[in-house]
Amino acid sequence: MEYRVLARKYRPQTFADLVGQDVLVRTLTNAFANNRIAHAFLLTGIRGIGKTTTARIIAKGMNCIGADGQGGPTVAPCGVCTHCIMVSESRHMDVLEMDAASHTGVDDIRDLIGTVQYLPSSARMKVYIIDEVHMLSNNAFNALLKTLEEPPPHVKFIFATTEIRKIPVTILSRCQRFDLRRLETPLMAQHLKNITLKESVSADDEALTLIADAAEGSVRDGLSLLDQAIAMGADETGTIHAPAIREMLGMNDKSQLFGLLEKLLAGAVGEAMAEFGKLYAAGADSAMLLQDLLALVHFITRIRISADAADDIAFSEKERTFAMELAGKLTIPTLTKLWQMLLKGLQEVRIAPEPAASAEMVLVRIAHSADLPSPSDLIRSVRKEAANAPVGGGNAAPSRPAAASLITTQQVVSQSVAQPTVVHAPLPQSFESAVQMFTAQREPLLYNHLVRNVRLVQFEKGRIELNVAAEVPQDFAGRVGARLTEWTGQRWVIILSHETGAEPLQKQRDAAEAAKREAVKSYPLVATVLEQFPGAVVTKVTEQP
């Protein structure tokens, strides 16, 4: 006997067999019972969920004459009368199935409309099933409209589409619409189980749940995956087991990854490297590996927040137990730190010329930081130290970090790093404030020269002696003098000198900045951070508001 794929073999022939579409079935049942059958239906929903199937059941129901040849329209077609059989086999003269995907033109629709006026040849109703109706051209839709408005009494239209948004409202408003639902995983798994029973195949529940989940609500997808699983074969015990399915679905076994993660967290660099080597030798892709680790950390974090998250069927029983164990041990800050390091590592690995080497470096870095406290732990411990400090020992001097309270420290930091304030005094009291006027008054070019290319030899009110570099323009001294005179209302002269003078202002500022960075290193909080994170550097000192 030829093998028929499960999806075709098990196409529901009646609504009783249609799974998960209760609302649709109930509404149609009422309509048939009250003899209020719409003349146009629109069935919508994702792929492989029963649209074509439903269209055929409706067509059969409209034309079924029952086993005795006496029956009327019904939602439960008998399946044995000639009409039922011919519709099921897609060869009924009066039930026309058209695939709009391949007949999108206005001419196809005109041909179809041309046949509408003729009475059915043998059935009660002429039924037009137009699948993938969203594929029709605009003209084709327009040609349909008039017929759809007032079809002859013996004509019914059934449209099916996966893309309801592409259907013009003019069409929508002339149809009774049914939304077919995605199947939830448990319902799909149950359906798959019923089919394995009929096929005398044994599969464990976890395997079926995995397939059901991967099908994402589409029954046809679920059945195709089951086909594949059956073809792949059962194990020695004659059963299809979850691990095989996981492999088939490309969800590889994560227990090795758990091993790797454990070694990393324990800071066991050598063992972690060995684990990585094993995975790599087995063909794991470096970036994929980090991605899997990320997924794992995410999973553990979710469990940490809510234990319910552990019922994720993408992970095996063993993996779930393991993740729960880790979730019990790790804190959220540790998990987020791990996540960030992995994420940053992943970005590096993706652009690295040698991804495997880069991945190794990432893992080494993580293993090394395993015993590092998180920033919040650090702050907490510094606070605790401060609280334990002897009363009266609150000397905030940077040389006595342990005794300084955090608050005092902050004050010290903000005092010592306060930026020089801009002086808008009409008469500048220093060279620095005179120069500052050039930014305040928007003379960026002159300001730039004053800051970088000028050494101060002497400053007096009304008289500035400068040693200027070759970069400054010819009329520089004249312009600076003129500007200052203008702004202050007092005469200023700039005298050029050959004496060495002081360092340019910018150099002085850079040096001061560096000194500031150096100085904060001895504040308790900063010192602890630097000590706990080897290689950390102070890059910027900003003032706390």
Ligand X SMILES: Nc1ncnc2c1ncn2[C@@H]1O[C@H](COP(=O)(O)OP(=O)(O)OP(=O)(O)O)[C@@H](O)[C@H]1O
Please give the residue ranges that form the binding site for Zn ion (CB under 5 A): 64, 77-78, 81, 84
Min dist CB 50 to ligand X, Å, is 3
Partner whose footprint covers residue 81, from Mg ion, Zn ion, ligand X, none (CB < 5 to 8 Å by kind): Zn ion
d(CA 287, CA 345): 9
Min dist CB 220 to ligand X, Å, is 4
Report the residue number, 53 or 316, with the smaller CB distance to ligand X: 53
Partner whose footprint covers residue 18, from Mg ion, ligand X, Zn ion, none (CB < 5 to 8 Å by kind): ligand X
Residue pair 440/452 in contact by the 8 Å Cβ criterion: no
Cα angle, residue 439 at apex, residues 434 and 443 outer, rounded to 5°: 100
Going through 469-537 in order, the beta strands assigned E by DSSP cover: 493-496
Partner whose footprint covers residue 8, from ligand X, Zn ion, Mg ion, none (CB < 5 to 8 Å by kind): ligand X
Min dist CB 361 to ligand X, Å, is 47
Partner whose footprint covers residue 162, from Zn ion, ligand X, Mg ion, none (CB < 5 to 8 Å by kind): ligand X
d(CA 425, CA 445): 22
Report the residue number, 44 or 52, with the smaller CB distance to Mg ion: 52
Partner whose footprint covers residue 61, from ligand X, Mg ion, Zn ion, none (CB < 5 to 8 Å by kind): none
Q: Within a 10 A sphere around the Cβ of 31, how many other Cβ atoms?
A: 17
d(CA 489, CA 33): 101
Report the residue number, 81 or 189, with the smaller CB distance to Zn ion: 81
Report the residue number, 47 or 384, with the smaller CB distance to Mg ion: 47
Partner whose footprint covers residue 224, from ligand X, Mg ion, Zn ion, none (CB < 5 to 8 Å by kind): none
Partner whose footprint covers residue 56, from ligand X, Zn ion, Mg ion, none (CB < 5 to 8 Å by kind): none
Contacts of residue 512, defined as CB under 8 A and 6 or more positions apart, other chains included, come to none
Min dist CB 211 to Mg ion, Å, is 21
Residue pair 90/97 in contact by the 8 Å Cβ criterion: yes
Report the residue number, 106 or 201, with the smaller CB distance to ligand X: 201
Report the residue number, 52 or 286, with the smaller CB distance to Mg ion: 52
Min dist CB 91 to Zn ion, Å, is 15
Report the residue number, 84 or 330, with the smaller CB distance to Zn ion: 84
d(CA 158, CA 130): 6
The footprint of Mg ion on this chain (CB under 5 A) covers a number of residues equal to 2
Min dist CB 176 to Zn ion, Å, is 23
d(CA 225, CA 219): 10
Q: Please report the DSSP string for 519-539 in residue order.
A: HHTTSHHHHHHHHHSTT----
3-state secondary structure of 40: strand
Does residue 190 bind Mg ion (CB under 5 A)? no
Min dist CB 51 to Mg ion, Å, is 5
Q: Within a 10 A sphere around the Cβ of 358, how many other Cβ atoms?
A: 20
Site for Mg ion in 37-56 (CB under 5 A): 51-52
Report the residue number, 8 or 540, with the smaller CB distance to ligand X: 8
Report the residue number, 89 or 311, with the smaller CB distance to Mg ion: 89
Partner whose footprint covers residue 78, from Zn ion, Mg ion, ligand X, none (CB < 5 to 8 Å by kind): Zn ion
SS3 string, 150-207, reads CCCCCEEEEEEECCHHHCCHHHHCCCEEEECCCCCHHHHHHHHHHHHHHCCCEECHHH
Report the residue number, 103 or 154, with the smaller CB distance to ligand X: 103
Residue 513: φ, ψ to 5°: -60, -45
Partner whose footprint covers residue 84, from Mg ion, ligand X, Zn ion, none (CB < 5 to 8 Å by kind): Zn ion
Question: Strand pairing partners for 177?
Answer: 42
Min dist CB 57 to Mg ion, Å, is 13
d(CA 274, CA 145): 70
Min dist CB 160 to ligand X, Å, is 6
| Joined tokens for residue 468 | 């200027």
Report the residue number, 21 or 185, with the smaller CB distance to ligand X: 21
Partner whose footprint covers residue 339, from Mg ion, ligand X, Zn ion, none (CB < 5 to 8 Å by kind): none
Partner whose footprint covers residue 355, from ligand X, Zn ion, Mg ion, none (CB < 5 to 8 Å by kind): none
Residue 458 host element (H or E): strand 454-460
Contacts of residue 452, defined as CB under 8 A and 6 or more positions apart, other chains included, come to 504, 505, 506
Report the residue number, 53 or 436, with the smaller CB distance to Zn ion: 53
**Which residue type, as a one-letter code, is found at position 266?**
A
Min dist CB 160 to Mg ion, Å, is 6
d(CA 59, CA 126): 9
Min dist CB 131 to Mg ion, Å, is 5
Report the residue number, 50 or 524, with the smaller CB distance to ligand X: 50
**Which residue type, as a one-letter code, is found at position 540?**
K
Min dist CB 195 to ligand X, Å, is 9
| Helix extents (H) in 330-453 | 332-351, 355-369, 375-388, 406-416, 431-440, 444-452
Residue 116: φ, ψ to 5°: -60, -40
Residue pair 195/7 in contact by the 8 Å Cβ criterion: no
Partner whose footprint covers residue 11, from ligand X, Mg ion, Zn ion, none (CB < 5 to 8 Å by kind): ligand X
**Which residues in this chain contact ligand X in the complex, by CB under 6 A?**
7-8, 10-12, 18-21, 47-53, 160, 162, 219-220, 223
| Joined tokens for residue 120 | 């059915």
Q: Within a 10 A sphere around the Cβ of 138, how many other Cβ atoms?
A: 9
Partner whose footprint covers residue 223, from ligand X, Zn ion, Mg ion, none (CB < 5 to 8 Å by kind): ligand X
Min dist CB 43 to Mg ion, Å, is 9
Between β-strands 463-468 and 493-496, what pairing exists: parallel, antiparallel or unpaired? Answer: parallel
> What is the contact surface with Mg ion in residues (CB under 5 A)?
51-52
